[in-house]
Amino acid sequence: MKNDKNILKETLKEFVPILTFFSLILGFGGLIEFSANGLTKKYAKGNLQDIMFEQEISLFGSGIKHFGVPSLDFEYNIKDMRAGCYEPQEDKIVLNLLLSKNTPGWDIGSDEGKLYADLQDDGARGVIAHELGHYYCDKLSEKIFHQDGGVFGTGLNRRIISEGIAEYFEHSVTGKPNKFKESDWPKSRKQLNRMYKLGIGKNNFIYNGGHMVVKPLIDKYGKKAIEYMIYEPLRDNELLNYKAYQQRIEKMINSSIKENRARSKI
Ligand SMILES: [Zn+2]
């Protein structure tokens, strides 16, 4: 699931009065209705397969290739801060037509008397590319482990890996730099708890921190790295020591490569 970053919360605060204003004008008399025919919907339908193809080209040589095509759905969700989400049971990407993580991409207006606030191309492209990362993990998990959902496990340990891989897929087509540094990783339980209680830097940690953890592994081992990571998320003792996690995964991959080589010699 893609929860938007803090910047979006700020933007939402600005957006609510605008929305109210539009609602009052356009929806006078309690006839407020949102249009579902805005730009995001058109863009997503017209570009989903191109984005998937671009990802495969960008990740060429990694062994990563999409399994089929997910379905698309759209929602107007003002309560939840997410710009999009992925539903593994239905292999479905859901885009929120009210929110975007790239706020300059917003397009607010009216269409036949209905209000819309959509993501324009750049915003939608990033969100779709991200959700495709969740889709890939889910399909890989279905194929190997006969289980929906992608990354195994629970809580933060799972989310860091799950969102990190999804960010990897997003970056593969947007090319946006990850500004998260090694020194940004929490160094103590106390720091981690504080981050959670106050919510400051939490999403940056999960999404960009997660990307920092998974990137060298996927860069080096491609699909193989994802196969191991979806089954083996961070352990509790690795939450403050992501390098131990990277080493553990790398060791597992290397020992399986050695085992396969030995087997092929028999
Ligand atoms: Zn996500």
What's the gap in Å between 228 CA and the centre of ligand 1? Answer: 19
Going 94 to 97 to 99 to 105, the CA torsion angle's sign is positive
User: Residue 76's pLDDT is what?
Assistant: 74
Q: What is the per-residue burial (b if ≥16 Cβ within 10 Å, else e) of 201-214? A: bbbebbbbbbbbbb
Distances (CA, A) of 164 to 44, 208, 240: 23, 7, 16
What's the gap in Å between 21 CA and the centre of ligand 1? Answer: 31
What's the gap in Å between 83 CA and the centre of ligand 1? Answer: 10
What type of residue sits at position 129? A
What's the gap in Å between 170 CA and the centre of ligand 1? Answer: 10
What's the gap in Å between 96 CA and the centre of ligand 1? Answer: 13
**DSSP assigned state of 237:** G
Q: How far apart are CA 6 and CA 55, in angstroms?
A: 27
**DSSP assigned state of 78:** S
Per-residue pLDDT tens listing for the chain (266 residues): 545 455 444 444 455 555 554 544 444 333 333 444 466 777 888 899 999 999 999 999 999 999 999 999 988 776 766 788 999 999 999 988 765 433 344 455 555 554 555 555 667 888 899 999 999 999 999 999 988 888 888 889 999 999 999 999 999 998 888 989 999 999 999 988 888 777 778 889 999 999 999 999 999 999 999 999 999 999 999 999 999 999 999 999 998 877 777 777 66
What is the residue whose two structure tokens read 């004008």? 25
What's the gap in Å between 36 CA and the centre of ligand 1? Answer: 23
What's the gap in Å between 27 CA and the centre of ligand 1? Answer: 33
What's the gap in Å between 131 CA and the centre of ligand 1? Answer: 6
Q: Concatenate the DSSP letters of all residues of 138-189 into one string.
A: HHHHHHHHS-SSSS-S-HHHHHHHHHHHHHHHHHHHH-PPP---GGGS--SH
pTM for this prediction: 0.79
What's the gap in Å between 262 CA and the centre of ligand 1? Answer: 38
Q: How far apart are CA 86 and CA 81, in angstroms?
A: 14
